[in-house]
Amino acid sequence: MGNVNLTRGATFIGEFLLQPRAMGLLLCGSFACAVIFCLSVFPLHFLAGNSPYWQAPRGLVIDSWADISTEISGYRYFVRDAWTLPLFQTAKLGAPDGVNIIFTSIPLLAMAGRLLYRASGLVVNPYGAWTALCFIASALSMTGLVAVLGQRGLAAGLMATASGLCMPALLERWGHLSLMAQWEIPLAFIIYFSARSRRGALGLLAWSLLLAVVALWTFSYLFVMVMGILAAALAQAALDRRLPLAQAASIAAVFALALLGLVFVSGYLANQGSLAAWGFGFYSMNLLSPIVPQFSALFPALGNKMVDATGGQYEGFSYLGAGILLLVLATQPRLWRALARAWPRHIFLVVLLAAFTLFAISNEVYAGVWHVASIPLPASILALASLFRSSGRFIWPCMYLLTAGAIVSAPVLWGRFGGLLLVVAVGIQFVDTAPLRSALAARVAVSAATPLAEIPWADAIRRHAFLRVVPPFGCLADPRGRPAQMALELQLLASQQDVATNTVYAARHKEDCTPPDAAVAAGELRVYLPTDARAGLPSEGCVASPELAVCSRQAGSFDPAALLAVKPQEH
């Protein structure tokens, strides 16, 4: 059966499922399914960016209460700020030094938002539309990848669309808005496999460079994954002599110059804090994560628990879903044969994916709750690895390529029954991921409960020129406690009013924890959060409660006591 034609093998039940031959029809169908999916999960006012949800956004992934708030606040400050170098530096967040919003927000959206603001004066929240774009692009890119690999049948297109929309690692990632752009990985694979059937450097260079820039201005982790795949395409083309060595070297030079220049201009290397961080080996992938059902409707007895032995292996959450697992098991013989035959012609990609997998597992190897091994590494290697401490994410390229390979292999291995197998897998995948979709729909339907009353705080912040939080977020003893939640809420409210603030939650940010002067400056609204931070509390112009203190020299223009009405903590 291995020689069965891919197109003929996907056709089954005769006239019931006709096979579209045009790539455009296949993508149009995928697009329609993705739009229906988004409308079934997300309210329209959420997608428009003006629903109550965005006043107190929360995600599904751990700590997303901080991530979404800082995404939005960094975006708001940037779009209204002046042009400067580094390009994405903003002065009002983390004042007086400011912060580069590449460490808080999605640079691509921030740039689009600034251009729109310059043209119209409108500050538009793009993150609802971005969410829909990510799901739609995920469906389209997976459908395109399966088509490029040779399978353009209707059943394969349906399964590719379903896998793009119902990949558990995408649904569960809601809350890290930049990492919702996992569609960039299948796009990189599309370029890789398309390049094998084409000669010439110009098209390869143009599409690859465009995707690399988009990935760079989305998130650094995705950029490394995408660039690895694109570099493998270039190296393989040179090895196969599909590209003359001189052309390959020219493309590499253009890439290096363009991307290094963009890295410099964007400010990736101008960060005041260290780019390295603790967590490599902690934020890893568990060996059982891809195959053990998690958040599964088909295996409810396993509960809503994730395979996580460290408390940080949610970063390597990679459960494929029951539908995809069914295809992988059903096509395993063909997948192994294909790998055995193809690896010499894809040696760079195979080595890259093996390296990504080992890096995702890290040097602390876990299988379920068992610590399998601890592999000693030189300090220099650990320091380099800590640049991407959440190494578990690097399983995503293997996850998406394995899924596409299983979809393509089903008609080849099973002939006319392969299409039926694909349709069954669509239903299983959709049913299996229902709990994650339901949790996502419930989360975005309403705003979360917050400690502070929005209306009086927004009014008070608007009446001041500066909001000082003591201590700022990065200096709090507990970065997940109630004071931290208040600091993030204050940051979000200050960004809404375009009032500068000293507090900021940002990756790789070096915080100044020096206590402020005792005297409150004119135009300053000062907020003391934990009780132990009030040693230097000014004697005048302050009101206090057990949870916070508020100081201002213009208390006559608002009611400071109204700000102390902190909501009870939910349990």
- What string of pLDDT tens digits covers the 571 residues of the chain? 334 343 333 333 333 333 445 678 899 999 999 999 999 999 999 999 999 999 989 999 988 889 999 999 999 999 999 999 999 999 999 999 999 999 999 999 999 999 999 999 999 999 999 999 999 999 999 999 999 998 988 999 999 999 999 999 999 999 999 999 999 999 999 999 988 765 545 666 788 999 999 999 999 999 999 999 999 999 998 898 888 898 889 889 989 999 999 999 999 987 766 677 789 999 999 999 999 999 999 998 887 889 999 999 999 999 999 999 999 999 998 888 888 888 889 999 999 999 999 999 999 999 999 999 999 999 999 999 998 999 999 999 999 999 999 999 999 999 889 999 999 999 999 999 999 999 999 999 988 888 898 999 999 999 999 999 999 999 998 888 899 999 999 999 999 999 999 999 988 787 888 888 888 999 999 999 987 777 778 878 899 888 899 999 988 888 888 898 877 665 3
* Domain identity same for 109 and 142: no
- Tell me how far CA of residue 13 lies from CA of 17, 64, 105, 157, 412, in angstroms: 6, 46, 49, 16, 17
Q: Is residue 46 part of a domain?
A: no
pTM, two decimal places? 0.93
Residue that finishes a domain, picked among 444, 465, 500: 444
Exposure on the CB side of residue 365, measured as CA atoms within 13 A:
10
* Domain identity same for 164 and 312: yes
How far is C-alpha 212 from the chain's CA centre?
16
* Domain identity same for 120 and 171: no
* Domain identity same for 424 and 456: no
Q: What is the DSSP letter of 551?
A: E
Residue that finishes a domain, picked among 416, 444, 472: 444
* Domain identity same for 468 and 361: no
Q: Is residue 369 part of a domain?
A: yes
* Domain identity same for 62 and 32: no
Q: Is residue 409 part of a domain?
A: yes
Say which residue the tokens 């650990």 belong to: 382
Q: Is residue 569 part of a domain?
A: no
Query: Residue 57 has which token pair?
Result: 């956004």
* Domain identity same for 419 and 560: no
The number of distinct structural domains making up the chain is 2
* Domain identity same for 245 and 353: yes
Q: Is residue 1 part of a domain?
A: no
Q: Is residue 247 part of a domain?
A: yes
Residue that finishes a domain, picked among 412, 444, 476: 444
* Domain identity same for 358 and 504: no
* Domain identity same for 203 and 75: no
Q: Is residue 331 part of a domain?
A: yes
Q: Is residue 27 part of a domain?
A: yes
* Domain identity same for 251 and 313: yes
How far is C-alpha 273 from the chain's CA centre?
22
The boundaries of the domain holding residue 107 are: 52-125+449-564
* Domain identity same for 119 and 166: no
Do residues 504 and 104 touch, judged by C-beta distance below 8 A?
Answer: yes
